[in-house]
Structure 1
Amino acid sequence: VSSTLLFFIFGSICYYRHFEPTLKSHPKFLKNQVRQEIRESMLTLLIGNILTAPIFVAQIRGYSKLYGSPEEGPGYWYEAAQFLFFLAFSDTMMYWLHRLFHLPLLFNTMHKGHHRFIIPTPFSAYAFNPIEAYIMSLPIHAYGFILPMSKFAYLVIFLMTNIWSFLLHDSQDTFHTVHHKNVKFNFGQFLPLWDQLAGTHQDPVYFFSSKKRSV
């Protein structure tokens, strides 16, 4: 229930504040697209919650390295540093997982459905194959089993990562929008670092300016 509520709250805010309504007239904007995005996201959330339940049980039973107060962690310095460590960990994992789902077999069986939204709205943030979405969510949870993580940081990161997913799909002329228009580029989640290192980076300013020049 809470995940559905968050989906509609943050999805609606991002949709009405960031998504350009005129894009719904774009020839590549699908008929009843928003309805499709919401329906698929709801299914993904339902199945994802079921699949993620064992992770939460493991956390409750003390199998993770989550901790409560700063005194229980590695030190006060870590309270800020853990966000940077998570960023490095998550961006690395998400980049290569995303690349994995662009291999022909996985792309055609799972990821391709998400890419039919060439002009995505924020409601497409979870419109993935449910199994794929679950796998892509694992870095958020895995960090706290590998390295210490405060429960506060875990909650903040969980919320911010989900909000970021909505913003990534607002179809503004930004980093991830390039990926929806050309699947060869911009696989990263937060930073372009791995795209730059792996040769898959496309600057959105250049990409969209060249698109306009070619029209």
Structure 2
Amino acid sequence: MRKVTIKNGTIVTDEEIAQEEGAKCPVITSEEYLIISSRKVADQQKREDRDLIWITRVSNRYFSQLVIAEFSAVFFAYFGLALSIFKYEIQQRREEEEFSLNLALFINTTCTLFLIFSLYVRYEIWLVWCKSVETFIENDTLITTGLWRTLVFEGIICLIAPYPFFEDKYLEEYVVDFKTDARLRINDLLLFGMFARIYLLVRFIFYVSEFLNPRTQ
């Protein structure tokens, strides 16, 4: 028995309904299907390539900012170190008045503070760069990643420097063999500790070389 359907007051058979649906959905051959599929894959690949190029550009931009932050830290670290060495040599020769020596200490202290700030900025930029290369997720911070520990450790190392309030302070020890007192300026001892900042220069050299260049990764 043939089934019929009443549509808009008209009796329509199943064959007519099938023909109507077939007209709405045209039939394509296997070759046409392969062509359409290949075009979709090519378009998807182009979009992925554009996204990769954009991510690479963003990553390179953050890396350039990271190199600038590294240079800033090296500049303040070694400018303060040079001032401290100059002040020490002049002080040993007693060729400079006290005002100039205190001024050198003040400038060195200012450089140390700027160095600490540069280190903080450096870690913030490094965190953003790591997010751009998908090492960390977007919600990560210096606290959640544990980078604050390294930041604090570096800050303590870079805080080792001569300060004005240690200028007239000495470490005294009585030497029994020579029956005399030995005195050492605290600032001279802190000056020796400033040479630990050499790691900043080594790290900066790595960043400007091909070793840490993102294009060679």
TM over 0.5: no
TM range (shorter): under 0.3
Rg larger in 1 or in 2? 2
Could you tell me the TM-score, scaled by structure 1's length?
0.26
Could you tell me the TM-score, scaled by structure 2's length?
0.26
